[in-house]
Amino acid sequence: MNILNGGVGQTIRLNDRTLSYFAGNNYLGLANDPTLVNNAVDALKKYGVNFAASRQTTGTADIHLELEKTLAEFKAKQDAVVFASGYMGNKILLHVLREKYDSIFVDSMAHSSITDGIPRDVSTVEYYKHTNPNHLEQLLKSSSKKRPLIITDGVFALTGEITPVDQLYLLAQKYGALLIVDDAHATGVLGENGRGTPEHFHLDQAPGLFQSETMSKAIGSYGGFISGSHELTDTIRKKSTFYGASTALPPPVVAAGLSSVKQIMSRPELRTRLMENTRILRKGVEELAFSTTKGTTPIIPLCFKEKQTANALSQYLEENGIVAPAVDYPVKTSQFIVRITVSSTHTEEQIHHLLHTLKEWREKI
């Protein structure tokens, strides 16, 4: 495991070396943006490290309310609710919607936060082939259950593929299903305003479509959130024990989240730069004929049949001053992946250095 000696920007300090960082999920470079850091420090000075109480008792502060209001504005929804981890978002939604479904249909490569979040009393859980609406329809058609719920990642963490939300939503309408999309890797990245995969497919305000989101990736802070109608957020506040009985998000995290969401709304150029860097790197990787996935997300996997090859490439990159890890979690795939992620803060020079090093490695083997 790599041990960091500093924060994660487009470079990192690792074992006393400065390396080009093409890993992690700091897609907009906001995790170490000076404004975010200053706002977090100010909040630390004003409120201390921790509110040390749950939201329902004495842990709700003015900044939580301001953050939730700003997130609602960002998402163009009535309200939003924040909680301690994006990982819990799927569990919270599956819990509060429990009376509205009797069966669950899950993408077979769904993130562990989805599969872990499935309530124990749901007897029918079926897995459809990865990003395959035709298979999903077969399962829905042959199911005896009348109130299905479909759940999937919006963007897959390892492969960067975008799930076909438009086709899933058509099926949801046809079969009277609810649809939940885990947009951990799409928030702040996809859609005209960075609102994620529903916006990418022009389904931003579609009824019966729910999103579980995080502030820990493109937003550059920490913690999960769900936006929607007052009815939904009120239900979460009343019914979710995770929301009600866990300690409120700490002050620096809340202040950083607030500052970040304001920047995402007012600085569309952050996303424009991210998309341009993504385009250049994806094109370069394709020209080098690496096996990768199609798409427009900043997660660019290099896929190999053998684990040793993925590990060897990752090591070669590191020897040449670049961090891009070989990863095989949180879902198992049939391939071994070197997961490259690009951010809006990478320079053209860094991207070209990465592509040049990949070319050298290709030629060597």
Ligand X SMILES: Cc1ncc(COP(=O)(O)O)c(C=O)c1O
Of 81-89, 98-106, 132-140, 300-308, the segment contacting ligand X by CB under 6 A is 81-89
Question: Which of 224/251 has CB closer to ligand X?
Answer: 224
**For residue 329, which amino acid is it?**
Y
Q: Calculate the CA dihedral of residues 28, 31, 36, 39 and round it to 10 degrees.
A: 160
**In the bound complex, what is the minimum distance in angstroms from residue 186's beta carbon to ligand X?**
9
Q: Which two tokens stand for residue 196?
A: 């994620």
User: Quick check: 210 binds ligand X (CB under 6 A)?
Assistant: no
157 binds ligand X (CB under 6 A): yes
Cβ proximity to ligand X: between 221 and 357 the closer is: 221
Residue 13 contacts by C-beta under 8 Å, 6 or more apart in sequence? 4, 5, 6, 19
User: Of 93, 184, 256, 358, which one interacts with ligand X (CB under 6 A)?
Assistant: 184
> Helical H runs in the chain?
34-47, 62-75, 89-96, 112-115, 133-142, 165-174, 197-200, 230-239, 241-244, 251-266, 269-287, 307-319, 348-364
Give yes or no for a contact between 125 and 155, defined as CB atoms under 8 angstroms apart: no
User: Measured from the CB of residue 157, what is the shortest distance to ligand X in angstroms?
Assistant: 4
216 makes contact with ligand X (CB under 6 A): yes
Q: How many residues bind ligand X (CB under 6 A)?
A: 13
Assess contact for 274 and 344: CB atoms under 8 A.
yes
The C-alpha atoms of residue 181 and residue 208 are separated, in whole angstroms, by: 11
Cβ 257 to ligand X, closest distance in Å? 11
Interaction of residue 197 with ligand X, rule CB under 6 A: no
Selected binder of ligand X within 137, 182, 199, 204 (CB under 6 A): 182
Of residues 111, 130, 195, 282, which one binds ligand X by CB under 6 A?
111
CB of 89 to ligand X, least distance (A): 7
| DSSP reduced 3-state for 80 | strand
Among 153, 161, 199, 204, binds ligand X (CB under 6 A): 153
